[in-house]
Chains A and B, each alone.
Chain A
Amino acid sequence: MKAVVTVIGRDAVGIIAGICTCLAGRGVNVLDINQTTLQDLFVMNMLVELGENDFAALTDALNAEGERLGVNVRMQREDIFDAMHRI
């Protein structure tokens, strides 16, 4: 299953490293990344392949990592964006 991970928060050193380490430790492959900073705001979207991971458990792990880094992390299935924006 593919999902979109969105990370938003105040820019700081180590956000990408923290999130990617969290994903890599669970065997989640990152397929694509979009990242920008708007003034001090860090915004990143990642397309990931969950593999055998349980969705709820991975969400909890990402939320915990987000809390440690002081950023907001959410993971949503890719389908919702496809349904809304592609015919």
Chain B
Amino acid sequence: MKFEVGKNEILETQNMIDAQHLDIRTVTMGVALTDCADPDPARAAEKIYDKITRCAGELVPTCEAISREMGIPIINKRISVTPIALVAAASETEDYTPFARALDRAAKTCGCDFIGGFSALVQKGCTTADLRLIRSFPQALAETDLVCSSVNVGSTRAGINMDAVRLLGEVVKQTADLTRDNQSMGCAKLVVFCNAVEDNPFMAGAFHGVGEAECAVNVGISGPGVVFHALQKLEKDAPLDLVAETVKRTAFKITRMGELIAREASKRLNVPFGIVDLSLAPTPAVGDSVARILESMGLDRCGTHGTTAALALLNDAVKKGGVMASSSVGGLSGAFIPVSEDEGMIAAAKSGALTLDKLEAMTCVCSVGLDMIAVPGDTPASTLAAILADEAAIGMVNGKTTAVRLIPAYGKQLGDEIELGGLLGTAPIMRVHHHGAEEFINRGGRIPAPMHSFRN
């Protein structure tokens, strides 16, 4: 019996892990909670806790064993659940924070890093339960540590629910105020989507969609550092099609590894394998930045002219490599451009090269949206809602997922920054337009779904 892979290939893999920050960003177990509905809210919370701890009890030790055997770090172990508005609707209560507390407690018992799914899907309209859930966000996010919430406010088929957008502008602001002693951290756990996907393993937007099975294992892989190093080896004047090819080949390798981990976790946990989400998910560590990949293509600074084109190339090449490597690519797959979680984005924003407007343009061609952006604490709720609406419109018209995580940092001004810690990083406060949009937002109603022909 001989080695099937060469010495250089073994060293290449080890080098990716040791020096280029290659890791499995998350193994996320989706758990359906629809069978936990109960008219008695205390009983429903108990059923939720019991089911999660029963299904995901072995998640963390299993991931740790796989990580040890494969020699690849698995950074986060997470749980996603059925949008809680659907489960809590049967309960006779107006206060949904006990459900968030039950989720938090279950995640802590399992030893998980985050639990997502304190969520509502309101693209066409809000049920009573949806409204109760959204109104409970500020308190729930302030009281819990690991619970992540999300709301889908629009879709290409349904249009945008502007009543929900208006409400969420206020809710985001209240969340920032209630968590003011902790850098307005609550807002880092609240995502507003358009065209949300049902199998996304990444936080804060993960939830277990209603079309999903009882339980599923979804894996999110990372690797900006690996792509960056691969591009560094190219000649400076290599044409862009060669750049795309290099990204594609690298994405292929890391997706294959993700699929192996997902299948292994699925087998050991006896839970069906869902998807591999191949997203270039940056961290604040030097050498793990999406912005630096764009700059390595020849931009002086991320955010300057040419950034959108470079990001379009990167995002598409990542998807092509991933799709070739696995038949089960899903989630958000592409490149993430969070500001606070990316060392190069932070530097670009601080230097003034990267603005909110440019980020919005970049979201037209990448896999998510305006992510982890801190804005002045005195930004009006209507302006926050208008930013949410703009981003949802980009998703709706382009038939893609967009998401917004805005942090109106309490008491902070331009020039300040907030330190969120860990993978969430540091967010410089970014400028928003001072002209208002209050009248537009106050109209409420719905922005109708777009035409599907005449795509000009």
Flag whether A13 is at the interface (Cβ < 8 A).
no
Q: Is the CB of A80 within 8 A of B13?
A: yes
User: B16 — nearest CB in chain A belongs to which residue?
Assistant: A84
Q: Mark B243-274, 1 if CB is under 8 A from A, else 0.
A: 00000000001101101100010000000000
- 8 Å CB contact of B71 from A43, A47, A76, A86: A76
Flag whether B439 is at the interface (Cβ < 8 A).
no
User: A34 — nearest CB in chain B belongs to which residue?
Assistant: B7
Q: Is the CB of B71 within 8 A of A74?
A: yes
Binds A, one of B62-70, B95-103, B153-161: B62-70
Q: Is the CB of A32 within 8 A of B256?
A: no
Chain B neighbourhood of A56, CB < 8 A: 65, 68
Q: Is the CB of B3 within 8 A of A77?
A: no
A70 to B4, CA, bound (A): 29
Q: Is the CB of A81 within 8 A of B13?
A: yes
Q: Is the CB of B10 within 8 A of A45?
A: yes
Q: Is the CB of A83 within 8 A of B10?
A: no
Chain B neighbourhood of A43, CB < 8 A: 7, 11
Flag whether B14 is at the interface (Cβ < 8 A).
yes
Chain A neighbourhood of B238, CB < 8 A: none
- Whether A75 contacts B70 in the complex (CB less than 8 A), given A4-B10, A45-B10, A84-B13, comes out as no
Flag whether A67 is at the interface (Cβ < 8 A).
no
Flag whether B72 is at the interface (Cβ < 8 A).
yes
Chain A neighbourhood of B433, CB < 8 A: none
Q: Which residues of A contact B (CB under 8 A)?
A: 2-4, 6, 31-32, 34, 36, 43, 45, 47, 49, 55-56, 59, 74-86
A84 to B6, CA, bound (A): 12
22 contacts between A and B (CB under 8 A): A2-B1, A6-B14, A31-B2, A32-B2, A34-B3, A47-B1, A47-B2, A47-B3, A55-B65, A55-B69, A56-B65, A75-B71, A77-B69, A77-B71, A79-B70, A80-B13, A80-B260, A81-B5, A82-B5, A83-B257, A85-B5, A85-B13
Q: How far is the CB of B6 from chain A (nearest CB, A)?
A: 8
A86 to B7, CA, bound (A): 14
What does DSSP make chain B's interface, helix, strand, loop or mixed? helix
Q: How far is the CB of B17 from chain A (nearest CB, A)?
A: 9
Interface centre among A55, A56, A84, by most B CB within 10 Å? A84
Q: Is the CB of A84 within 8 A of B3?
A: no
Q: Is the CB of A84 within 8 A of B253?
A: yes
- Whether A83 contacts B256 in the complex (CB less than 8 A), given A47-B1, A78-B4, comes out as yes
Q: Which residues of B contact A (CB under 8 A)?
A: 1-7, 9-14, 65, 68-72, 253-254, 256-257, 259-260, 264
Q: How far is the CB of B422 from chain A (nearest CB, A)?
A: 26
User: A56 — nearest CB in chain B belongs to which residue?
Assistant: B68
- 8 Å CB contact of B1 from A3, A31, A81: A31
Chain A neighbourhood of B253, CB < 8 A: 84-85
Chain B neighbourhood of A85, CB < 8 A: 5-6, 9, 12-13, 253
A2 to B11, CA, bound (A): 18
A76 to B257, CA, bound (A): 13
User: B324 — nearest CB in chain A belongs to which residue?
Assistant: A87
A2 to B69, CA, bound (A): 11
User: A55 — nearest CB in chain B belongs to which residue?
Assistant: B69
Q: Is the CB of A83 within 8 A of B260?
A: yes
Chain B neighbourhood of A76, CB < 8 A: 69-71
Chain B neighbourhood of A47, CB < 8 A: 1-3
- Whether A80 contacts B2 in the complex (CB less than 8 A), given A34-B7, A45-B7, comes out as no
A79 to B257, CA, bound (A): 9
User: A59 — nearest CB in chain B belongs to which residue?
Assistant: B68
A79 to B71, CA, bound (A): 11
Chain A neighbourhood of B2, CB < 8 A: 31-32, 47
Q: How far is the CB of B190 from chain A (nearest CB, A)?
A: 36
A56 to B253, CA, bound (A): 26
- 8 Å CB contact of A83 from B1, B6, B65, B259: B259
Q: Is the CB of A80 within 8 A of B7?
A: no
Q: How far is the CB of B67 from chain A (nearest CB, A)?
A: 10
- Whether A81 contacts B7 in the complex (CB less than 8 A), given A6-B14, A32-B1, A76-B70, comes out as no
